[in-house]
Structure 1
């Protein structure tokens, strides 16, 4: 019973609501938590910085997964909301002297409200037209407002550079990749837990109903406009949190960090990880980040044979990412999360075939 969840053994309603049903699963999650806490203390700074990039990608892709995978609202402008969170956090600390946690909350809420503004057309349009609307958010926010007007409120041109020691949480100064790593773990775990709980409520069920058939959902009494806008707000908040973390990790923010390419990149992460799965966001972020890091090492190793290859790494990276998306769409359209579930089912049933 501790290993395989077989039979009916719940004695209280509370047990049915538990995330982890057996002692074996709870032990695995405890071991995973211990490994995450010990990891930066036993490895080199480079791997810690890579882990921070993975965490940033997870935080950025959670909102995309919510909109596309859960609510069925296609978005190609999520980087704009990440930019709002990042710049609002930087301005709050530099111009108004707000503590980092307060600036993070303000940036997240502003990103959510800004996302709702561009989510309003979802009440009337969907599909290709909604894609155009979300792309407009990218161009208006990053290419126009930030690039043209942020310099008037204290930026150097259109970017911000934070002085050392600016990002603090109480007495804790986040001034290294190691400290940023633990902040990343807290934000990722908190965001995933909050979103997972939200998906288990009537709100989550309404989002799934809208994704599957919005007309049927409206017929059953679901206020599709309200729930669509709520999905955009929550996705924007998650994007704002990602932008605020990027500030704490890099101590620098620039429009080049929030291009349309990053929005497309996040959609690819969701496709590779698995549409509609929070686990898929984690798997997709790990796969994409680690694959590109390995590709960078491979390109460096081929420098002697192809001297110009490192200079064209950007094109190699984008080409490899595109090929990965095509491969998963053709051979594993349900993503890495589905493959992980199949592997777990195999070991749970072993040595039997079914």
Structure 2
């Protein structure tokens, strides 16, 4: 991965009337990086992607792509390609014609564009599918055709707008692995927009978390997960226990917001609990296959725990003990 930024956003804002879809966003995305933009609906991540693509122009600030100021430059003159959530395939064209369409617009010869399109289909594991129509393909296959159409021009930056959102869970998990492998094979910069935390954490080299038009944290997936900068990040990325200052002061002596990941919390019978354990009411038990998720109500907060399945039986709607290492608390700035 090069240290040179493939894409730089410099205090970029995008306003729609009084709505600040992007609010002075600063980002540097390295060449060859798999970069995820993560956030809830309306957080600004898709607007950010569209600004990089050139489909939206900033209200203020600069977009720089490989050292060139791209602000005001139309999409077709940027060295980027976009894969949309709905794939946007031409239904009347064959798969090969769909993939080769942009090459046709560039007046590449018929034989050469067919060759390049076939190579792109091989990269996405669809050799021999060129004669089919999009309607004859599964959702996962259509997604791969959209990828092939985007990479056939060998762009330096590939933008992906929630491309896995329409797939079922198993296929989505398979495509996460394939996308990561494709990015490594091509060596190009991937910028991936998603609201799914598992997609961002599993595929990205770095993650930018968006909220209310701002980037609230940027870092490696493990850093964002284990050391969230604000209560919003802790709650959104991985469903942490976000603990208010009054509770944290009672158990640690510091009146600060803190996060505590559910997998770091242990639940057991209240009878015979170790000294220092917190006693609460078991309100919910969700069996998730390999793990069980518990919700335990304490007097001033409800804590969630995730533990391996097959542990000791606990009384439904009964008293249980909560324990965790105080070192597992991660202190944060800001407010909930």
Q: Bin the TM-score by the shorter chain.
A: under 0.3
Higher relative contact order by CA 8 Å / sep ≥ 6: 1 or 2? 1
Identify the structure with the greater strand proportion.
2
* Higher Rg: 2
Give the TM-score normalised by the residue count of structure 2. 0.25
Which of the pair is proportionally richer in helix? 1
